[in-house]
Amino acid sequence: MSEVRLSGLGKSFGAEPAVRDLDLTIKDGEFVVLLGPTGAGKTTTLRLIAGLERPDTGAVHIDGENVNDRAPAERDVAFVFQQYSLYPHLSVYENLAFPLRSPARRLSAADVDARVRDIARMVRIDHKLDSRSTRLSGGEMQRVAIGRALVRDPAIFLMDEPLSSLDAKLRSNLRLELKRIQIDLGSTLLYVTHDQIEAMTMADRIGILSDGELIQIGTPREIYTKPANLHVAARLGHPHINLLRPGLVPCQSIPEGTRMIGARTEHVEVGRPAQPGDANATVDWIEHLGDQNHLHISVSGEKLTLLSDPYSGFKAGDPVSIRLKTPLFFGADDRMISHG
């Protein structure tokens, strides 16, 4: 495992810049997730590191060494794609062993066997080692694909939305597993996704990409509680952050220059009005999502969505009083103004 450093990395396709002047260091043993929508430059970044694309500007350093002129095979990276690509004629065991049998490696049969069984246990596919890879379910196939990357012990793992083709339940199980395996192996891992939950739950640090630019990088908590700007604030959090004009909802001490207030559900206190005159808002409806109940509230024509206790007893049409406590403040340039 090793450190991977991107400095001033840039790549355009025709006139369209896909990645702009990207500086990013993925530390040894770190799990970094790049989060952004389609077209943000996530996949291009991975391909630049893997050597599948040549940068127009800047350099990729792996373990302190500039690898710009090295072919993909000489870079010691492992790539896991969105679509698992297994060898259909081979068993699970042979699929996992394949990368170890490369002539460049010269591992003994016993070493290969030990490593394959180790990794199979880790990705929980050890009970299917003799099965043909075509006989597996989607989740099992993706676990084999991830396992095949893991057996190699490369400098860095590059993963391109590896869970996005799986159903919700499986995805949630594999998120937890992948994080656990990465910690156990001490792997350096760069993972790209458009799914904020994957980013929040797995990353040591999240990098927010937009139009090829890295807008902010930090721990999930930092990004969530101190977003650099409105764009970042809107990318994380469920329900979405509520954006309100100053003055709409009572709030203590609004800093100078505030153009927009960002109120996450934890920044809003909802109460029953003591007197009918207190109410400044109305409950529109309550959305029972099971794990979360969303309270939809109207305030002078603006709408807010908040989490609510399912047993709070609020009903559609109820008048409520709301106030803000330590919300986020954004200035005219959309950047966050530090609060308090």
Which residues of this chain interact with other proteins, rule CB under 8 A? 168-169, 172, 175-176, 179-180, 183, 195, 197, 200-201, 220-221, 224, 236-238, 264-266, 285, 287-291, 294, 307, 310
CB of 264 to other proteins, least distance (A): 7
CB of 268 to other proteins, least distance (A): 11
Question: How far apart, in whole angstroms, are the C-alpha atoms of residue 89 and residue 97?
Answer: 14
CB of 218 to other proteins, least distance (A): 13
Residue with tokens 């952004």: 36
Nearer to other proteins, 63 or 126 (CB): 126
CB of 24 to other proteins, least distance (A): 21
Nearer to other proteins, 96 or 200 (CB): 200
CB of 122 to other proteins, least distance (A): 14
Nearer to other proteins, 105 or 180 (CB): 180
Provide DSSP, 284-313: EEEEE-SS-EEEEEEETTEEEEEEE-TTS-
CB-CB contact of 96 with 148 (8 Å): yes
Nearer to other proteins, 290 or 301 (CB): 290
Q: Which amino acid is at 88?
A: P
Helical spans, DSSP H, in the chain: 42-50, 92-97, 109-122, 138-150, 168-185, 196-202, 220-225, 230-235
Nearer to other proteins, 105 or 303 (CB): 303
CB-CB contact of 25 with 6 (8 Å): yes
CB of 9 to other proteins, least distance (A): 27
CB of 113 to other proteins, least distance (A): 28
Question: How far apart, in whole angstroms, are the C-alpha atoms of residue 220 and residue 235?
Answer: 12
Question: How far apart, in whole angstroms, are the C-alpha atoms of residue 115 and residue 122?
Answer: 11
Nearer to other proteins, 34 or 178 (CB): 178
**φ, ψ for residue 188, nearest 5 deg:** -90, 130
Nearer to other proteins, 25 or 201 (CB): 201
Name, in order, each residue with C-beta under 8 angstroms of 138's C-beta and a sequence gap of 6 or more. 165, 166, 167, 170
